[in-house]
Every structure is written in C-alpha cells, then in structure tokens.
Structure 1
Amino acid sequence: MIAVLDLFLKLTIWFLLTADLSLVNILLGLAIALILPGKYSVASQLKDWLRVLGEVLLAIPQAYVEAVEMMLWPHRYEEVTMEQVKPNRTPGLIFLDIFLITFTPKTIVLQYHENGWYEVHRVVRRKKP
C-alpha cells in the first residue's frame, strides 16, 4: 500500500510540473515514476500517510483564512524558526511536510537540514515581546 502512495505522490508532482493530463503525458509520468528509486531504509506507515493527506485537506481552508487575515490586518513582522522533522519520515513524507508548511501564505520553508530540521520563515502581525 505504501508503494502505491509513493507512486501516487510522484505522479501528482509530475502532473503539477507538466500541467498536462493527456494520455501520452500520463504514460510518460507513470514510466518516470516507476523508474525513480522508491525503496527507503525507513519504512513509512500507512497511518502516517493518511494523517498527512488529511492535513493537506485541512490546509486548503487554512490557506484561504490566512490570506484574508493578511489582507485585512497587515503582517509587518517576520521571524525565522527551526522546526524538527517528525521521526521515521521517508523522503516522500518530508516533501509533504514541506509542502504543507509552504502551502499557507504566512509560512515558507527556507531550508531543510539533513540533521532533521526545517528552517521556517513566518510573517506575523506583532513582534514577540
């Protein structure tokens, strides 16, 4: 089941990059997704994938709320924080975590550190005291 989710993630990224759902592009994307390496030393669990996919669905309305907040109330300050990667994350799950952080308008991942940290930039309404 995890292999199917990894394949689905690779195909989704392919379709987002190409913006083409023609039969030829689907077959090409499938071929590329199957050729890309997919075996990782850390085994991801189905519950992790389902949780992250649920978070992706929740991030969509959150992004709209944050965009409206930024239009109504200026966010004039910014901060850079470090967030730790959750344990036992495969590269696919790390990518989805970065996508979730970057998807909302107030945050963006500046850098992923190989030792298990994300460097996250945020815009905020007020400075912390």
Structure 2
Amino acid sequence: MTHANQEIIHRFFDAYGKRDMDALREVMSEDVTWNFPGRSQVSGVIRGLPDVVAFFDRISGFEMRSETYVTGANDDYIVEAQRTYTVAPDSDFEMEYCVLWRFADGKIVNGTHLCADQHRADAFFDGAER
C-alpha cells in the first residue's frame, strides 16, 4: 500500500516536470528547505520554493534516472534508498543515495540527499569526474 506522502512526492515530480507553480504550491511549502550536502557547486541548503525549483533545474541539467530499492514512510517522513544513474556529455555516474523527505500539513517542507560517497559526488558535480 502506498503512503499518502508518497503520492505527494509523485505530484511534486509531475508538477515540476510541467513547471506548474500552482501545482507545486499545492504540494510544497513556500518556505521549503532542501539540503544537498557536500562542497560541490550544487551543494548547500536551499531555501524557498523558487530557489528549490531552481536547484532541481540545475541538477536536472544532467540526464538522471533512479531505481528505488526501498522506501520507508510515516506521517512526517519518507526515506527512499536508491541508486541514481546520471549521464553527462562526457561520462556516466552511478551513486547510491538516500533521500529524506519531511512533511507538514500535507506538504513537503524539507528534503535531504545523503550519498554513499560524498567526495566522489562532489567531484562529479564539479566536473572532475567528467
């Protein structure tokens, strides 16, 4: 059985894919924060819906797909363990990540990416592995 918060994540990605800001506001808090650990050019804490959308635009500049291994959910959090495959013009990159989503009042209020090898991820996003 799918948890209701998983449906919110699906709605987020659908709205993001369509760049439908009204639909994004239905599933994501205006003051959402997103944590992308590390020291790369895309790392940091991103604050606010417009900046989180811009962050996803930045990392979506790479062709990415993921395979989810396992998902855990409760009313406040979802954690997804996944393998992400990223294709850049001059290299491919695979990494295992956990994504921790936090919810309040039926909306995404925080997300955090945690990767298996932060140094390697930083090198990829900074172009050293390409």
Query: What band does the TM-score fall into relative to the shorter chain?
Result: under 0.3
Structure 1 or 2: larger strand share? 2
Structure 1 or 2: larger helix share? 1
User: Normalising by the residue count of structure 1, what TM-score does the alignment of the two structures yield?
Assistant: 0.27
